[in-house]
Amino acid sequence: MSFFPQKSGAEIIDRIAAQIGDVIITLHDIETFAPGIVRSINNDSDPEKRKAMWNRYYNETLELMIQNTTIQIAAARMGQIVTEQQIDEVLLRMQEQNSLFRARVREIMDREGKITPELRMEAKNELLREKVQAILFPRIVVTEEDVRNYLKNDPNVNFGQTEYNLELVLLPGRTSYNNFSNAMKKGGFEDAAAEVSQPIIKMGWINPDELVPEMRDAVKQLSPGELSKAVSDSDGRYAVLMLRDIRNESNVTDSLKKSVINKIQMEQIETVFKNWIERNKRSILVNRYNL
């Protein structure tokens, strides 16, 4: 089978560029693939430059046609085909397609000014990509750990582990700590921090096991709204922690989990699709011929 109507058998044999499975690509197919590019090559007055441009066009176009033919054969093995009528319909409904495909079509139309074999191949393979990816999509396995890793940087998400909402004042020395303690007797946490001119560091939701042992032991004794005893370090600084709240119930709903799974699958589908192409390449015979 060829992309275009052929002439006499003897002439065609001399002009076969490649064979992929049962599909034959001819020199005529390559020459008519992107007429605008071929025309610009032929119009160049420098023979050496014209030859180099043609060689580049020939090689790039042949490889593109081989790649897309491979996709078409592999998709057909899965029962997925695209008719000429479907290609016509997708070209008529351009605004409904994805932005990358629309950009590629605009590029070809701006260059060629008409529908070419190149454009029809783009449309065909866009449709095949959608069909094949719809089959591959549910096969992408997303584990509970994948969901956790995806959400681990979201401060509003908790998977059920105990977490403390902590605030911290770091005091540079014993004198500062004493002043802070005295100020706490007169007012609240915020007033005492202001009295010693130290900022309140909002640590957010923290798993206590991620804290240094001294801090972990100090906060585990607290109830929400209570202040920890001072924790000192080797540099003579003192840390005082305020426990604002505790949570230990998962707030990961089924709908959130499904949404995350879908996002992970969407991020992985292109890689899965490329791997699918590479696997099929190994079982589809490709022969290239020197013209």
Residues of the chain with pLDDT under 50: 1-14
Residue-level pLDDT at 159: 63
Q: Note whether 176 and 105 are same-domain residues.
A: no
pLDDT score recorded for residue 246: 85
Question: Distances from the Cα of 79 to the Cαs of 75, 127, 141, 284, in angstroms?
Answer: 7, 13, 23, 16
Q: Report whether 199 contacts 171 (CB < 8 A).
A: no
Which pLDDT score is estimated for 235? 80
Q: Is residue 145 part of a domain?
A: no
- The number of distinct structural domains making up the chain is 2
What local confidence, expressed as pLDDT, does residue 10 receive? 43
Q: What is the pLDDT of residue 9?
A: 45
Verify that 68 and 182 share a domain, yes or no: no
CA distances to 81, 150, 152, 261, 290 from 145, in Å? 37, 8, 10, 11, 52
| Residues 97 and 191 grouped into a single domain | no
Instruction: Please write the tens of the pLDDT for every residue from 113-169.
Output: 888 999 999 899 889 999 999 999 988 999 988 888 888 777 666 666 778 899 999
How high is the pLDDT of residue 6?
A: 44
Say what the pTM is.
Answer: 0.58
Here the tokens at position 81 are 């085909």
Tell me, what CATH number does 233's domain have? 3.10.50.40
Q: Give the pLDDT confidence score for residue 1 in this predicted structure.
A: 38
For residue 6, which amino acid is it?
Q
CB 138 within 8 A of CB 229: no
Q: Which pLDDT belongs to residue 3? A: 39
Q: Determine the structural domain holding residue 168 and report its residue range.
A: 163-245
Candidates 145, 135, 151; CA nearest to 269 is 135
Over the Cα atoms of the chain, what is R_g? 33
Indicate whether 101 and 175 sit together in one domain.
no
109, 202: one domain? no
